[in-house]
Amino acid sequence: MEMRTGGVKRGVADKAVLAALFLALALWGGLPLRRHRHHDIPIVKGPGVTRVFRLSEYSPGLKGTTADTFVFELRGREPGGKALLIANTHSNEPEGMLSAIIFLENAVVEKGTLYIIPVFNNSGSRATRPGDGYPLYFDIATDWGARRFRFGNRDASPLDQWPDPDVYIHYPDRQLLSYIDVRNTNRTWPGRADGPLMERVTFGAMELMRREGIDVAIDIHGAETMFPVTNCIVAPESSVRIATMVAMTVKAMEGFENHVEPSPAGFRGLSHREIGDHGPSLPFLLEAPIPFLDQPTGPKTVEFLLDGKDPFLLSLSAKGKLFVPYDESGWPIEKRVGQHMSVCLEIFRQFSRKSADRPIAVSGVPRYADVAENGVGRYLADPSKAAPGDIVMN
Amino acid sequence: MIIMIAYYLMTAFLLGLLIWNFVRARDRRGDLVLYLLVMLPLLLRLLRWK
**Alpha-carbon radius of gyration of chain B:** 12
Question: Which chain B residue is nearest to residue A38, measuring alpha carbons?
Answer: B49
Determine the pLDDT at residue A5: 61
Give the whole-angstrom CA distance, residue A64 versus residue A55.
11
Among B7, B36, B44, the residue with its CB nearest the CB of A18 is: B36
Provide, as residue numbers in chain A, all residues whose Cβ is less than 8 Å from the Cβ of B25: 15
Among A22, A25, A34, the residue with its CB nearest the CB of B49 is: A34
CATH architecture observed for domain A44-393: 3-Layer(aba) Sandwich (3.40)
Whether residue A4 is predicted with pLDDT greater than 60 in this model: the reply is: no
> How many residues belong to chain B?
50
Give the whole-angstrom CA distance, residue A197 versus residue A159.
11
Q: How confident is the model over A83-105, as a mean pLDDT?
A: 98
Give the whole-angstrom CA distance, residue A223 versus residue A231.
8
Among A19, A30, A33, the residue with its CB nearest the CB of B36 is: A19
Q: Which residues of B fall below an 8 Å CB-CB distance to A?
A: 3-4, 7, 22-23, 25-27, 29, 32-33, 36-37, 39-40, 43-45, 47-50
What's the pTM? 0.95
Q: How confident is the model over A144-154, as a mean pLDDT?
A: 98
Whether residue A7 is predicted with pLDDT greater than 70 in this model: the reply is: no
A48 secondary structure, DSSP code: T
CB contact under 8 A, B44 and A26: yes
Domain boundaries, chain A: 1-38, 44-393
In angstroms, what CA-CA distances link A232 with A67, A250, A296? 28, 12, 22
CB A285 within 8 A of CB A221: yes
Determine the pLDDT at residue A6: 61
Distance from CA of B11 to the nearest CA of A (A): 12
* A156-177 tens-digit pLDDT: 999 999 999 999 999 999 999 9
**A39, A153, A162: which to substitute to probe chain B, counting the most B Cβ within 10 Å?**
A162
Phi and psi at A174, nearest 5°, equal: 60, 25
3-state secondary structure of A73: strand
CB contact under 8 A, A31 and B22: no
Question: Which chain B residue is nearest to residue A34, measuring alpha carbons?
Answer: B49
Query: CA dihedral in degrees (A265, A267, A269, A272; nearest 10)?
Result: -50
3-state secondary structure of A79: strand
Give the whole-angstrom CA distance, residue A25 versus residue B43.
12
Give the whole-angstrom CA distance, residue A93 versus residue A185.
13
CB contact under 8 A, B40 and A31: no
pLDDT over 90 percentage in chain A: 96
Q: What is the 3-state secondary structure (H, E, C) of A123-162?
A: CHHHCCCHHHCCCCEEEEEECCEEEEEECCCCCCCCCCCC
CB contact under 8 A, A18 and B50: no
CB contact under 8 A, B32 and A15: yes
> How many residues belong to chain A?
394
Determine the pLDDT at residue B26: 82
Q: Which residues of A fall below an 8 Å CB-CB distance to B?
A: 7, 11, 14-15, 18-19, 22, 25-26, 29-31, 33-34, 37, 130, 158-159, 161-163
CB contact under 8 A, A11 and B23: no
Q: Which residues contact A367 (CB under 8 A, 6 or more apart)?
A: A254, A338, A341, A342, A345
Q: How confident is the model over A198-210, as a mean pLDDT?
A: 98
* A325-339 tens-digit pLDDT: 999 999 999 999 999
Q: How confident is the model over A95-112, as a mean pLDDT?
A: 98
Helix locations, chain A, DSSP H: 2-37, 94-106, 197-212, 240-249, 271-278, 302-307, 311-318, 333-354, 368-374
